[in-house]
Amino acid sequence: MPRKPRVEYIGFHHIINHGVARDNIFLKDDDFKKFLEILQEAKERYDFILHSFCLMNNHYHLLIETKNENLSLIARQINSKYAQYFNKEYKRVGPLWQGRFKNSFVYDDNYLSILFKYIEQNPIKANMAQEASEYKYSSSFCISNGIYSQLLKESMLYDNELLKILNDKVSDAELKKLEELEKTKYKQGKEIVRLRQKPLTDYFTNKEDIKTRNTKIKEAVLDGYKQSEIADFLSLSKTTISKALKYINQK
């Protein structure tokens, strides 16, 4: 079965990777520190924002915001450099990682707020801490203690209101919502992989004037909808949709 195309869309991504056979990938403090050093190098090279991270014994979570379509390059550098370090340090051979890293494109504000809590609460779930900021190898700990400031200098966690909610337990409803959002299907655009963020019913109502409708048509196209799909939904001709886009692009 062919691999699904990697979503490289510019924006927020949740990245996860596990050790092969769920074995530990961090065995001592220096391993955690080396991973963060490699993460800093990748950040400088590929110009992304690190908003949240949690390094557990046998896996890691990263929440990054890309500025370019280079997610695979970012993850490849992090994973390969750390695997090289780990194999040399412990005189081992063979793959370190379970497989391809997993990532999900974070396209929704609600999704984002749940994800912050989900990532930072990993140590609480594993009975390794009672509060998110107690776990040494998490972004909330680093921010609360003023360390790794260069790595996290643009993190949204510097918003004190966001830091306050990290210990609010992720509810069953939030976990269900998170699962639903991570299963959201993407569609391939002409040039990049685009996310269909919402149904066409959320763009259009029966009360719009032509100017508003044209603006909404452009928004739907930018979110990945084909002109033919919009035309069918609005019971308009493709020519009308094309003219609407031409008009709004000239404004």
CA separation, residue 199 to residues 65, 118, 185, 220 (Å): 24, 27, 12, 9
In a domain, 224, yes or no: yes
- 31 lies in the same domain as 110: yes
- Are 69 and 135 contained in the same domain? yes
DSSP state of 203: T
Q: At 71, which CATH number?
A: 3.30.70.1290
Per-residue pLDDT, 235: 85
Query: How far, in Å, CA of 49 to CA of 154, rounded?
Result: 6
Backbone angles phi, psi at 97, to 5 degrees: -100, 155
C-alpha dihedral sign at 194, 199, 200, 204: negative
According to DSSP, residue 53 is labeled E
Q: Are residues 144 and 224 in the same domain?
A: no
Domain boundary pick from 136, 161, 187: 187
Q: What six digits make up the tokens of 147?
A: 């360390």
129: amino acid identity, one letter: A
**Dist. CA 49–CA 51, nearest whole Å:** 6
CA distances from 233 to 15, 16, 46, 237 (A): 35, 37, 40, 10
169 with 95, same domain: the answer is: yes
Q: What is the pLDDT of residue 1?
A: 38
Quick one: pLDDT at residue 101? 86
**End-to-end Cα separation, the chain, in angstroms:** 46
pLDDT at 105: 85
pLDDT of residue 162: 81
Three-class secondary structure of residue 238 per DSSP = helix
- Whether 232 and 128 map to the same domain: the answer is no
The verdict on residue 5 lying in a domain is no
Q: Are 8 and 69 in contact (CB under 8 A)?
A: yes
How many structural domains does the chain have? Answer: 2
Instruction: Report yes or no on 183 lying in a domain.
Output: yes
- Please tell me whether residues 171 and 213 are part of one structural domain: no
**Does residue 98 sit in the same domain as residue 153?**
yes
Provide the 8-state DSSP code for 8. Answer: -
Structural domain includes residue 4: no
Q: Which of 161, 187, 213 is the C-terminal boundary of a domain?
A: 187
| Residue ranges making up the domain that contains 112 | 12-187
State whether 220 and 155 are in the same domain.
no
- If asked whether residues 117 and 147 sit together in one domain, one would say yes
**Residues comprising the chain, all counted:** 251
Listed in sequence order, the residues at least 6 apart from 208 whose beta carbon sits closer than 8 Å to its beta carbon are 216
Q: Is residue 2 part of a domain?
A: no
Q: How many CB atoms lie within 10 A of CB 7?
A: 18
Residue 106's pLDDT is 83
Q: What's the pTM?
A: 0.72
Averages of pLDDT over runs of 10 residues in the chain (251 residues) are: 61 93 96 98 95 97 93 95 97 92 81 90 94 94 93 88 83 84 56 52 77 83 75 86 78 59
- Asked if 133 and 237 sit in the same domain, the reply is no
Give the pLDDT confidence score for residue 78 in this predicted structure.
97
Rounded to whole angstroms, the Cα distance separating 18 from 35 reads 14
